């Protein structure tokens, strides 16, 4: 099993507690990781699919998976003309 890099651990740590940083989340992403929000979310999406991320922080990764599933369901429902009332975690 590959280990997470320091940058990947920082991403997960930031996602777990981004509200602790002053300002907007996008500012914290840029200051902590030096990347845009778009690159961050794309990288985070790939990162949470890895078993190493699950081993590092299982509660966070499970929550992010649930949120991703809920967003996919909402998008699918909108495309089909339905409105779902489910909240994202």
Residue 88 has pLDDT above 70, yes or no: no
How far apart CA 75 and CA 24 sit, in angstroms, is 25
pLDDT tens digits, one per residue of 61-82: 999 999 999 888 888 888 888 7
Domain count, the chain: 1
Residue 62 is assigned to a structural domain of this protein: yes
pLDDT band at 13 (very low <50, low <70, confident <90, very high): very high
Residue 75 is assigned to a structural domain of this protein: yes
pLDDT tens digits, one per residue of 23-41: 788 888 998 899 999 999 9
Residue 59 is assigned to a structural domain of this protein: yes
Residue 89 is assigned to a structural domain of this protein: no
Residue 50 has pLDDT above 90, yes or no: yes
Range of the domain at 24: 6-79
- Distances in Å between the Cα of 83 and the Cα atoms of 33, 77, 89 are 36, 6, 18
Residue 27 is assigned to a structural domain of this protein: yes
Average pLDDT of span 13-18: 89
Residue 86 is assigned to a structural domain of this protein: no
């Amino acid at each position: 099993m590959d280990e997470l890099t320091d940058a990947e651990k920082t991403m997960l740590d930031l996602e777990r507690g981004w509200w602790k940083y002053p300002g907007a989340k996008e500012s914290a992403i840029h200051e902590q990781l030096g990347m845009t929000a778009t690159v961050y979310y794309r990288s985070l999406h790939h990162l949470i699919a890895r078993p190493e991320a699950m081993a590092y922080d299982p509660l966070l990764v499970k929550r992010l998976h649930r949120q991703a599933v809920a967003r996919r369901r909402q998008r699918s429902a909108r495309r089909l003309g339905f409105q779902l009332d489910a909240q994202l975690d």
